[in-house]
C-alpha cells in the first residue's frame, strides 16, 4: 500500500513536540512540521529547537535530528532548550541562539532568521497549499478511478474536493449511511456534497448492517470496533462493484497523526483512517500535513456551506457512542430526536457561538416521573455542552438555567419516553467530552 | 388491632378537601379536620363548606355531611360552594352564608362565627395539642410496654417523645439500622434521640439483612417492598424479645393520611405506617391529626436539635432508591460518600436556605473519563436540588455553576470511582424529586 499526499516546500522542522510554535510559524507564512516518524525525507530548511516543558527526546526524534544535522541543515535554538543526547555544539556556539521564541520580539527574530533560510520561496498559507496540491495531484496521479468515503465530516469532504478538482469525474464519491448520524444529516450531507463536488454522491444505505453489528454490544470499545469493521466491510463490497479503482481518498489530517502516532510511535501508520493494510489501492491523503483550522479555511475558500464548515466535532461511531450501553433502532431514534431538540434550542440561543460542542446523550437509565398526575417510568436524557480551544481540555459550559429548563420542557413533552433531563457539569479532565 | 390517637376539642369539619383553609383555620386557633373516612364520631362544632375547585363529593363525604347535619351541627358556607346531592336548604336560607372565605374580611367573619360556635374552648395551637395529648396518653394507656421504631425521621421521634413523657421508661425506643441512611446518621440519630427521650435508644444492626433482601432487585417497587418487608421482619423479631409489649408507637401524621387514604378511600387505613394487620398490639399514633409543620413546631418546643427538625424529607427505603438499579454494599457506600460531599458543599453555600431538598443519586451508568492523562471508566453521580413549598410540585434549583463545578471537582477527585457528574434540571412534574 503506497501513499500519495501533498507537501509544501520549503519547510522547517520543529522539535520536540511544540504544536503551539508550529501553529504560530504557519500563521506567519513559514511551513513547519513536527518530527512524525517516517513522514518525509527531503531536507528541511532549518531545525528549530524551542525550550519546551516536554524536554525529552524519543530515539526517533534523535535519529531524525542527527540525520538532518549531519546533512548540514542549520539549527536554530532557544536558550534553555534541551538538545538530544550527544549534541554538544549548542552550548559551544552563540550563532543561531535566541533568547526566546515566545515573546513577540524573540519570535520576530526567529521569523526573520527562518525567512532568510527558506529563501525566496512562496509564503505558506492553507489556500496556497491547496492550490499547489491540486496541481500536484493532477500531475502525479496516474490512470484509474479514485474512490472516497464521505462520512459527513469536513476532512474527507475537503479531501474529496481537492481530488475532484484534479481528477474530475474519475473520482467516485460514496456516502455510507450507517444510520448513526444526527437528525437530517443523512439527507443533507450527500445533497450538499453533490453540489460542492459537482459530482453525484452515491448514498449506500447500510443502516441495517450497522444495527445488526451493534446488537447485544455494551462495551464502548466493542461498539467502536463493530462500527469500524462494518464500515470497512460495507465499503469494500461497494468498491468491488466499481471498475478500475486505483486510488482511495482519505481525509487524514495532521491532528489525527499527532494523536494516533504521537511521539515515539513505533512505526509510521499510513493508516489512521481505519482501512486495513490489505487494501491494494494507493491511498491519497491530500490534507495529511494540515491542521483542523487550516482545513476549515480551505473549505470556506472552496465555498462549503457553513453547516459543514462549522460542523461540530462528531465521533466516528456517531450516535452509537452516545447511546450508552446497547444500541437498538428504538433507542437510536429516541436519541436522534432528543439531540435534534437540544441542538435546536442551544443552537438558536445567544451562547451557541461560545461553545465548542453541544449534544444529547442517552445514558440508559430508567427513572420515575409523573405525567398527568400519574407515576410512570421513562428515560433520562443528558445534555452536554462544552467550551474548548482544541478539545484536549474542555470546560462544561455555563448554560443559562432558562435555556436548560426550556430544553427539559421540550424533551419531556415532545418525547413521551423521556422522564428526566440532566446536565453534565464535568470538565475534561477528569471527564471526557463524549460519554463513551 | 385498635388505635389510640390524640384529638383536639372543640373541632370543626371542613369540606370537601380544602387543605389550604384547614391550615389557615388552625393557624388562627380553630382546630379543623378534613373528612377522612372512619376518623371520628364525636360531633364537630360546625361544618364548613368552602367554594373549592374540586367541587365534587365522594359518597363517604356526603354520608358524613348528612349524619352531622341531621344531628343539628350548623353549616357555614361560602357563596358558590357546591352542596352535596340532596342538600336543598343552602339556596333557601341566607343564614350562615358568607360572601368569601378567602379574602381577609370574609375570613375574619368566618373566624368570628366559628369562635362563637366552638364556645369558650381553648384556642388550638400545636403546643396546646401536644400538652393535652401527653395528659390523655398518660390517662388512657393501660399496663404494659410501648415500643417505637425510630427511623431517623421527625414524625416517629416526636411521637416517641410524647409517649415517653406519658409512660416514662415503659417506652422502649428501637433504632433499626438498615444501612440505608446517609453518612453519619446511623450514629448521630440514636445518640440525639437518647438525649431527647431521656431513654436509651437500642440500635438494631440489620444492615446485612437489608442488603440480602435487596440483592438482585432492580425494579424500584420490588426494592421498596423488600425494604418494607425486611423492616417488619426485623422489627417483629426484636419486639418478640421484649416482655409485656402492649403498644406500638407510630409516627403517622395527617399529611400521610391525606396522601394514602385521600378522598374516597374505600376504608379506614389505620395502618399507613407499614405494619401488617396481624400485629396484636394497640397502635399509638399521637400525631395522626397534625400537619408536617405543626410537628416541626412541637419538635422545636421539645428541644429537638436543628439537624432533626430541619432534616430534609428522606424516603422510607432510604438510599436504596437513590442507587438506581441493584443495590450492593459497594455502590451504597459510594453513594453515601458522594451524598456527603454534595450535602457538605450545598449545605455550606448561600443557596442552602432556599432549598427544599438536595442530595446525590447513583444512576448506575458507566462512562469514560480521563485521569492522569489515561482513559478510564467510572460512575456517573447525579446531583438533585429542588425548590418547593410542599413537595407536590418542585422546581429544579438554579445552583450557581461555581458550586456545581466545585462539587464535580470534589466528587471526581475524592472518589476515584466517579468519572462524571450531572445535575438534574427537571421540574416536578414531569419528573419526580426522587429518581426511583
Contact across the interface for B369 and A429, Cβ inside 8 Å = yes
Residue B431 DSSP label: B
| CA-based nearest residue in chain B for residue A405 | B425
* Neighbour count for residue B259 (Cβ, 10 Å): 10
Residues of chain A positioned with their CB less than 8 A from the CB of B422: 382, 422-426
The answer to whether B224 contacts chain A (CB < 8 Å) is: no
What does the pLDDT read at residue B79? 85
| Closest Cα in chain A, distance from residue B420 (Å) | 6
Chain A residue with the nearest C-alpha to that of B383: A422
Window 78-137 of A, Cβ < 8 Å to B: none
CA atoms in the 13 A half-sphere facing the CB of A45? 18
Subunit contact B431:A401, Cβ cutoff 8 A: no
- Distance (Å) from the alpha carbon of A370 to chain B's nearest alpha carbon: 5
Rounded distance between C-alpha atoms, residue B107 and residue B37, angstroms = 27
The mean-pLDDT minimum among A299-313, A321-335, B102-116, B261-275 falls in B261-275
Q: Phi-psi bin for B22: left (phi > 0), alpha (psi -120 to 50), beta?
A: alpha
* Residues in chain B closer than 8 A to A435 (CB atoms): 365, 367-368, 420
Round to whole Å and give the CA distance between A363 and A380. 7
B8-118 and B126-309 in the same fold: yes
Please check whether residue A398 touches B, CB under 8 A: yes
A405 and B396: CB-CB below 8 Å?
Answer: yes
- Residue in the block written with cell 462494518: A230
**Is B431 within 8 Å of A367 when comparing Cβ atoms?**
yes
pLDDT of residue A270: 36
Cβ pair B436:A396 closer than 8 A: no
CA B53, B58, B59: angle at the middle one, nearest 5? 155
Give the closest-approach CA distance of A383 to chain B in angstroms: 9
Give the model's pLDDT for residue A267: 33
Q: Which of A382, A401, A425 sits opposite B405 (nearest CB)?
A: A425
Tell if the CB–CB gap between B424 and A429 is shorter than 8 Å.
no
> Whole-model pTM?
0.86
Which of A321, A378, A380 has the highest number of chain B CBs within 10 A, making it the mutation to test binding with B?
A380
According to DSSP, the residues that pair with B147 across neighbouring strands are: B172, B248
DSSP, collapsed to helix, strand or coil, labels residue A296 as helix
CA pair distance A30, A39, nearest whole angstrom: 18
Domain ranges of chain A: 8-118, 126-309, 322-423
- Work out the minimum CA distance from A342 to partner chain B, whole angstroms: 14
Pairwise pLDDT comparison (A1 vs B419), residue with the higher score: B419
SS3 B424: strand
The reply to whether B157 sits in an annotated binding site is: yes
Distance of CA B240 to the CA centre of its chain: 27
Q: Give B-chain residues touching A407 at CB under 8 angstroms.
A: 425
Tell me: is residue B155 an annotated ligand-binding position: yes
> By CA distance, what is B436's nearest residue in A?
A368
| Candidate from A1-5, A385-389, B28-32 with smallest mean pLDDT | A1-5
A420 touches chain B (CB under 8 A): yes
Mean pLDDT for chain A overall: 89
Residues in B touching A371 (Cβ below 8 Å): 429-430
The CATH number of the structural domain formed by A126-309 is: 3.40.50.620
Q: Which among B370, B408, B432 is the nearest to A368, CB-wise?
A: B432
Q: What is the ipTM of this complex?
A: 0.84
The CATH number of the domain covering residues in B8-118: 3.40.50.10140
Query: Is A426–B412 a contact, with Cβ atoms under 8 angstroms apart?
Result: yes
Mutate to test the interface with A, among B400, B402, B415, B430 (most CBs of A within 10 A): B430
pLDDT for the residue numbered B271 = 38
**Digit-coded pLDDT (tens) for A195-236:** 999 999 999 999 999 999 999 999 999 999 999 999 999 999
B324, B365, B372, best to mutate vs chain A, most A CBs in 10 Å? B365
Length, in residues, of chain B:
436
pLDDT by residue, tens only, chain B of 436 residues: 688 999 999 999 998 777 889 999 999 999 999 887 666 778 999 999 998 776 688 888 888 889 998 898 999 988 888 888 887 766 555 567 888 898 899 999 999 999 999 987 789 999 999 999 999 999 999 899 999 999 889 999 999 999 999 999 999 999 999 999 999 999 999 999 999 999 999 999 999 999 999 999 999 999 999 999 999 999 999 999 999 999 999 999 987 777 665 554 433 333 334 555 556 789 999 999 999 899 999 999 999 999 899 889 899 899 999 999 999 999 999 999 999 999 999 999 999 999 999 999 999 999 988 777 677 889 999 999 999 987 778 999 999 999 999 999 999 999 999 999 999 999 999 999 999 9
Measured CA to CA in angstroms, residue A56 lies from A49, A311, A384 at distances of 12, 36, 37
Q: What is the structure's pLDDT at A276?
A: 55
| Model pLDDT, residue B57 | 86
pLDDT at res. B264: 44
What residue in B sits closest to A322 (Cα-Cα)? B367
Q: What is the pLDDT of residue B272?
A: 39
Mean pLDDT of A132-147: 95
Instruction: Name the most confidently modeled range: A61-70, A342-351, B31-40.
Output: A342-351
Per-residue DSSP letters for A243-287? Answer: TTEEEEE----HHHHHHHT-TT-SS--S-TTS--TT--SEEEETT
Contacts of B387 in chain A (CB under 8 A): none
Give the tens place of pLDDT for each residue, A244-274: 999 999 999 987 777 665 554 433 333 334 5
Half-sphere exposure of B38 toward its Cβ, with a 13 Å CA cutoff?
14
B-facing residues of A in 293-332 (CB < 8 A) are 324
How many angstroms away from the CA of A425 is the closest CA of chain B? 5
Q: DSSP secondary structure string, B110-168? A: HHHHHHHHHTTPPPP-HHHHHHHHHHHHHHH--SSEEEEEE-SSHHHHHHHHHHHHHHG
What residues contact residue B432 under an 8 Å CB cut-off, 6+ apart? A368, A369, A370, A375
Concatenate the DSSP letters of all residues of B206-272 into one string.
-HHHHHHHHTT--SHHHHHHHHHHHHHHHHHHHHHTSTTEEEEE----HHHHHHHT-TT-SS--S-T
Q: Is B237 on the interface with A (CB under 8 A)?
A: no
Look at the block and give the residue holding cell 538532518.
Answer: A68
Topology classification of domain A322-423: GMP Synthetase; Chain A, domain 3 (3.30.300)
| Shortest Cα–Cα distance, B403 to chain A (Å) | 10
- Better-predicted residue by pLDDT, B309 or A37: B309
Q: How many alpha carbons lie under 13 Å from residue A313 in its C-beta half-sphere?
A: 18
Q: Are A334 and A417 in contact (CB under 8 A)?
A: yes
pLDDT at position A269, please? 36
Contact A155, A273 (CB under 8 A): no
* pLDDT computed for residue B85 by the predictor: 83
CA B309 – CA B332 distance, rounded (Å): 25
pLDDT band at A1 (very low <50, low <70, confident <90, very high): low
Q: Is A108 annotated as a binding residue?
A: no
Is B421 near chain A, with CB under 8 Å? yes
Mark yes or no for CB contact B435/A413 under 8 Å: no
Amino acid at each position: 500500500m503506497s501513499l500519495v499526499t501533498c507537501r509544501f516546500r520549503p519547510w522547517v522542522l520543529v522539535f520536540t513536540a511544540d504544536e503551539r510554535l508550529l501553529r504560530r510559524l504557519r500563521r506567519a507564512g513559514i511551513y513547519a512540521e513536527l518530527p512524525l516518524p517516517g513522514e518525509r525525507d527531503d531536507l528541511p530548511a532549518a531545525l528549530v529547537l524551542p525550550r519546551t516543558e516536554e524536554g525529552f527526546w524519543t530515539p526517533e526524534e534523535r535519529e531524525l535530528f542527527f540525520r538532518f544535522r549531519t546533512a548540514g541543515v542549520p539549527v536554530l535554538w532557544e536558550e534553555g532548550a534541551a538538545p538530544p543526547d550527544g549534541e554538544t555544539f549548542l552550548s559551544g556556539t552563540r550563532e543561531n541562539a535566541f533568547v526566546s521564541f515566545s515573546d513577540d520580539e524573540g519570535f520576530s527574530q526567529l521569523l526573520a532568521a527562518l525567512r532568510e533560510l527558506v529563501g525566496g520561496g512562496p509564503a505558506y498559507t492553507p489556500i496556497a497549499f491547496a492550490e499547489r496540491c491540486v496541481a500536484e495531484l493532477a500531475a502525479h496521479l496516474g490512470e484509474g478511478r479514485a474512490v472516497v468515503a464521505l462520512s459527513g465530516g469536513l476532512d474527507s469532504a475537503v479531501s474529496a474536493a481537492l481530488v475532484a478538482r484534479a481528477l474530475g469525474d474519475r473520482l467516485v464519491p460514496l456516502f455510507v449511511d450507517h444510520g448513526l448520524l444526527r437528525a437530517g444529516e443523512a439527507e443533507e450531507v450527500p445533497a450538499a456534497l453533490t453540489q460542492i463536488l459537482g459530482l453525484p454522491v452515491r448514498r449506500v444505505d447500510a443502516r441495517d448492517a450497522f444495527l445488526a453489528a451493534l446488537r447485544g454490544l455494551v462495551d464502548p470499545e466493542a461498539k467502536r470496533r463493530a462500527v469500524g469493521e462494518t464500515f470497512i466491510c460495507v465499503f469494500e463490497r461497494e468498491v468491488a462493484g466499481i471498475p478500475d479503482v486505483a486510488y482511495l481518498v482519505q481525509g487524514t489530517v495532521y491532528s489525527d497523526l499527532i494523536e494516533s502516532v504521537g511521539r515515539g510511535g513505533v512505526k509510521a501508520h499510513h493508516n489512521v483512517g481505519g482501512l486495513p493494510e490489505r487494501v491494494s489501492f494507493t491511498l491519497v491523503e491530500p490534507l495529511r500535513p494540515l491542521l483542523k483550522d487550516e482545513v476549515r479555511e480551505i473549505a470556506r475558500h472552496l465555498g462549503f456551506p457553513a453547516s459543514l464548515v462549522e460542523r461540530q466535532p462528531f465521533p466516528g461511531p456517531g450516535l452509537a457512542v452516545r447511546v450508552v450501553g446497547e444500541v437498538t433502532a428504538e433507542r437510536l431514534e429516541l436519541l436522534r430526536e432528543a439531540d435534534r431538540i437540544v441542538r435546536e434550542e442551544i443552537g438558536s440561543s445567544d451562547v451557541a457561538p461560545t461553545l465548542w460542542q453541544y449534544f444529547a446523550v442517552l445514558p440508559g437509565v430508567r427513572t420515575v416521573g409523573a405525567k398527568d398526575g400519574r407515576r410512570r417510568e421513562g428515560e433520562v436524557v443528558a445534555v452536554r455542552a462544552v467550551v474548548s480551544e482544541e478539545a484536549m481540555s474542555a470546560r462544561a459550559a455555563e448554560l443559562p438555567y432558562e435555556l436548560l429548563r426550556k430544553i427539559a420542557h421540550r424533551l419531556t413533552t415532545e418525547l413521551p419516553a423521556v422522564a428526566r433531563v440532566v446536565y453534565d457539569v464535568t470538565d475534561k479532565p477528569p471527564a471526557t467530552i463524549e460519554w463513551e
